[in-house]
């Protein structure tokens, strides 16, 4: 998924905004500002420049900003070249683009088990 695509994002935490607590999204969400706590949704995108410290549970997670915490994805996690990540990841599919910084642990259960 290209991060420049603006269509398809029903929810957004914009630049200059800080959200904390339990955040639950039914559709795709793009985080451009700051977020902390627990985030659940179908698809979570952490944009370049975003700072997130959370426990994320989603179908797909794409990270291009700074992230610390824990990610559980049912389908896939992708770390873009600008990603700076310190976390534990559990997903059946992990994509690390050249330039991404990942410090942590990764568990890759079979797709059947991750659901």
Q: DSSP letters along 6-18, please?
A: -TT-SEEE-TT-E
Predicted pLDDT at 46: 97
- The predicted-structure confidence for 78-111, as pLDDT tens digits, reads as follows 999 999 999 999 999 999 999 999 999 999 987 5
Report d(CA 62, CA 29) in Å as an integer. 10
What pLDDT is stored for residue 103 in this prediction? 96
Q: What is the pLDDT of residues 52-79, one digit of tens each?
A: 999 999 999 999 999 999 999 999 999 9
* Whether residue 11 has pLDDT greater than 80: yes
Query: Is pLDDT of 115 > 50?
Result: no
SS (H, E, C) 29-47: EEECCEEEEEEEEEEEEEC
Choose among 77, 80, 54, 43: nearest CA to 65. 80
């Amino acid at each position: 998924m290209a991060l420049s695509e603006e269509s398809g994002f029903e929810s957004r935490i914009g630049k200059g905004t800080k959200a904390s607590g339990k955040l639950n999204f039914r559709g795709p969400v793009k985080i451009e500002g700051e977020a902390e706590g627990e985030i659940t949704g179908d698809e979570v995108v952490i944009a370049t420049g975003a700072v997130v410290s959370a426990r994320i549970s989603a179908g797909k997670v794409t990270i291009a900003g700074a992230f610390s915490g824990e990610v559980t994805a049912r389908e896939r996690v992708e770390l873009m070249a600008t990603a700076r990540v310190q976390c534990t990841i559990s997903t059946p599919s992990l994509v690390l683009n050249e330039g991404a910084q990942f410090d942590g642990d990764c568990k890759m259960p079979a797709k059947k088990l991750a659901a």
